[in-house]
DNA sequence: TTCATTCTTGACATCGCTGTCACAACCTGA
DNA sequence: TCAGGTTGTGACAGCGATGTCAAGAATGAA
């Protein structure tokens, strides 16, 4: 380990001067600075994080607490977004995934305390309320993809209602009037919010909302134990004499089964049926033929914004923190939706 | 911040004794231990990681260097496996994702050095050779899902050849004799290895390997810029007068298009055509109807084993480190493959 | 030329913890 | 009873960095 002292000796200056060079303290003669910088480079000196952290009593590390990163593959983008934003701030990330186990979570809060992390991004893989019990955790916490029922922490969540609106709106603009919905489990907050979005768009388009066209594509609790029944549900919709000309899906997996059901009945997508996904899982949307039009869950963006909010939270200078940030879900138009007469 | 000294004062003992209690040093009177432990708990004392690390000049943190976590959604399981294994060792994980940018990678090596990480798991999202240039990084490095061309570091990789063998073998056991292959880009190592696996299984089954039945499902470089042409490729195979009764896919996305091509031609899976996927992306395999039989990429396991190897590497007591660990790719049988007469 | 500023630099203490070593108190067996 | 051991505890130093403060050198103003 090359230390500050080693560099100082080599350079013939005091350790403090080397420290100044490392920290870009302007109070160093240009000549000295350059000489020292050269030696630092030559000796491959890297300041010891532990010592620094100890002296300064806080670290440049941010904790990321997640429950089940694996359920929705692309929710990983929250991690990517967080990481990307942190990089810009020259910070790094300590990651903890708890599998939803409260005991593990408690352990990791201790770890974060021990590491004196500068703050924590608390991310969940479903958009849902959480209740954070963190004895004595003094640093800032920002919730990503979840929100505090007690409004105790700022949160960054996808605008599911807007996403639902976007799905319906796009189809209506293409001239569809009979629109089926194959939705996620009704216990999910996303389902409720998007439902509100559909209804707003329907009302704007002068379309009455027909409950019999709104069927669940998943049944059971959405934590691995659920069943995907979208195929049968869609068959039901498509066999009606007044079958819908378009179907809005709760996610892209449902869309896969809608495609299958359409194929079974000899219906062509998008000629006979337009299909609109949600999530924009590229593994699916770009793989299906025709490629699936979908509305993206802005996970990367959510991670990025969460870090931004965290920075504001910590900059105690009255940095303005938004209690809840709604991140829009943009339409990604591909080939599965078509204009109707 | 509650410090050791605070606890000591409160307990009426010396800091060193508190330190002993925290570290489970047996040389503490049971009574003292319990008293101190109670106070630690009451005061919510958590040992300062920085101070500890500084004193002991190494940390309990392991670095995870990844390139592009996002390309294959489930490659995230490497991260999960790593994390799970580290938890058992009471270690934590500093994560860096470089997007494949060498400059970022260099930066993160410095960060890892600064943090005095106990070791590094270097994970890539494609099974491929890597060349690690790490000036002055003294701690252990284990490669996950990649390997060193210069054999300078131990690696943990999926047994792609075995996976290919498993795919072919399963179909042969079901009685298939004409088996089509829609493969990944031929520039991928996985493609080459699995090809060898197919041929071994074919030879064992007394089936001659027909190159005209082996077509690429992707074209272009496999880093986001590639094109999925499996649909057309499959149509080609299925329109042959001597069409294959089964198709082996390079991954599950290809299988999606194989299903689509079969549907287009009015062929039923699995009655007219058996389909075998690879990767076991559950988003796809459990969503397709019939559900897709696939061979799993054991990402979680790879992460876990990498951590294990790292532990051996650091336990300098001649811990035996396997230069290359091949992790088997298990068959996950579902409904897309059927016995033929 | 002299005094007041600025500019550069270094000595020193200190952050929280643990390794080393010393020492007191308590045993054991002869 | 005492030498020799074991047990439990604390004083102290020091890990590598930086904040504080002071002092010497260089500059400018009068």
- Tell me the average pLDDT across B18-33: 93
Residue A72: inside a domain, yes or no? Answer: yes
Cα–Cα dist A53/A30, whole Å: 27
B138 part of a folded domain = yes
Chain D nucleotides reached by a protein CB under 7 Å = 7-12, 14-20
Which string of b and e fits A278-313 if b means at least 16 CB within 10 Å?
bbbbbbbbbbbbbbbbbbbbbbbbbbbbbbbbbbbb
Find which nucleotide's C1' atom is closest to A14's CA. Answer: C10
- Nearest CB neighbour to A228, from listed B47, B69, B287: B287
Task: Name the residue closest to the C1' of D6 by its CA.
Answer: B27
Examine the pLDDT at B270 and tell me if it is beyond 90.
Answer: yes
Could you read off the pLDDT of B282-319 as tens digits, one per residue?
889 999 999 999 999 999 999 999 999 999 987 755 56
Residues A178, A275 within the same domain: yes
Give A-chain residues touching B284 at CB under 8 angstroms. 256, 283-284, 287
Q: How confident is the model at residue B231 (pLDDT cuts 50, 70, 90)?
A: very high
Flag whether A208 is in a domain. yes
pLDDT of residue A341: 77
Q: Residue B152: which of B326, B328, B321 has the closest Cα?
A: B321
Q: Is the pLDDT of residue B224 over 80?
A: no
* A252 part of a folded domain: yes
Minimum-distance residue to C7 (CA–C1'): A27
Say if B341 falls within a structural domain: no
The domain of B164 spans 160-297
Shortest alpha-carbon distance between residue B116 and chain A (Å)? 8
Q: How sure is the predictor about A226, in pLDDT bands with cuts at 50, 70 and 90?
A: confident
Q: Is the CB of B1 under 7 A from strand C?
A: yes
- Are both A25 and A144 inside the same structural domain? no
Tell me the per-residue pLDDT of A21-34, one tens digit each, with 9 for 90 and over.
Answer: 999 999 899 999 99
The reply to whether A292 and A174 lie within a common domain is yes
pLDDT on residue A201: 98
Which residues sit opposite A275 in a β-bridge?
Answer: A247
Please state the rounded mean pLDDT for residues B31-36. Answer: 94
Q: Does residue A68 fall inside a structural domain?
A: yes
Residue of B nearest to A252 (CA): B283
A273-282, pLDDT tens digit by residue? Answer: 999 999 999 8
Residues in a beta bridge with B163: none
B196 and B172 in one domain?
A: yes
Domain count, chain B: 3
Task: Tell me, yes or no, whether B136 and B246 share the same domain.
Answer: no
Mean pLDDT calculated for residue range B220-233: 81
pLDDT at B135: 62
pLDDT of residue A119: 93
Whether residues A171 and A279 share a domain: the answer is yes
* Residues with Cβ within 8 Å of residue B38, at least 6 apart in sequence: none
Residues A171/A274, Cβ–Cβ less than 8 Å: yes
- Give the predicted TM-score (pTM) of the model: 0.90
Q: Domain for residue B336, yes or no?
A: no
Q: Per-residue pLDDT for A252 more than 80?
A: yes
- The confidence band for B100, taking pLDDT boundaries of 50, 70 and 90, is confident
Count of beta carbons in the 10 Å neighbourhood of residue B192: 15
A259 plus A183 within the same structural domain: yes
Nearest nt to the CA of A3 via C1' is: D16
Dihedral over Cα of A211, A212, A213, A217: its sign:
positive
Residue A32, phi then psi, degrees to nearest 5: -60, -45
Domain CATH for B19? 1.10.260.40
Residue A15 Cβ under 7 A from any strand C atom: yes
Angle between helices B4-11 and B30-43 (to 10 degrees): 120
CATH assignment at residue A288? 3.40.50.2300
- A vs B: CB pairs below 8 A: 140
Q: Would A53 be classed as within a structural domain?
A: no
* Proximity of residue B35 CB to strand D below 7 A: no
Q: Mean of the pLDDT values across residues A262-270?
A: 92
Judge if B259 and B190 occupy the same domain: yes
């Amino acid at each position: 380990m090359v230390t500050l002292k080693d560099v100082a000796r080599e350079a013939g200056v005091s350790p403090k001067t080397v420290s100044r060079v490392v920290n870009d303290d302007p109070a160093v003669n240009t000549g000295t600075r350059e000489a020292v910088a050269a030696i630092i480079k030559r000796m491959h000196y890297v300041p010891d994080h532990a010592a620094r952290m100890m002296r300064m009593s806080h670290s440049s590390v941010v904790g990321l607490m997640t429950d089940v990163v694996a359920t929705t593959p692309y929710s990983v983008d929250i991690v990517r977004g967080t990481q990307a934003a942190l990089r810009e701030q020259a910070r790094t990330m300590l990651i903890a995934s708890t599998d939803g186990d409260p005991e593990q979570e408690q352990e990791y809060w201790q770890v974060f305390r021990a590491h004196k992390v500068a703050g924590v991004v608390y991310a969940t893989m479903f958009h849902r309320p959480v209740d954070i019990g963190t004895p004595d955790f003094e640093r800032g916490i920002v919730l990503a993809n979840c929100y505090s029922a007690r409004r105790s922490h700022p949160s960054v969540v996808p605008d599911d209602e807007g996403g639902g609106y976007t799905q319906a709106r796009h189809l209506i603009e293409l001239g569809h009037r009979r629109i089926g919905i194959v939705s996620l489990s009704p216990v999910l907050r996303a389902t409720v919010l998007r439902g509100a979005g559909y209804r707003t768009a329907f009302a704007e388009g002068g379309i009455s909302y027909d409950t019999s066209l709104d069927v669940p594509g998943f049944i059971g609790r959405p934590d691995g134990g659920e069943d995907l029944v979208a195929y049968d549900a869609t068959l039901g919709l498509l066999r009606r004499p007044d079958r819908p000309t378009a179907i809005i899906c709760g996610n892209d997996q449902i869309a896969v089964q809608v495609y299958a059901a359409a194929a079974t009945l000899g219906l062509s997508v998008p000629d006979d049926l337009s299909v609109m996904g949600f999530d924009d899982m590229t593994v699916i949307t770009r793989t299906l033929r025709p490629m699936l039009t979908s509305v993206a869950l802005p996970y990367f963006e959510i991670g990025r914004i969460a870090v931004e909010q965290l920075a504001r939270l910590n900059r105690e200078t009255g940095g303005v923190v938004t209690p809840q940030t709604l991140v829009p879900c943009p339409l990604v138009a591909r080939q599965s939706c078509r204009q109707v007469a």
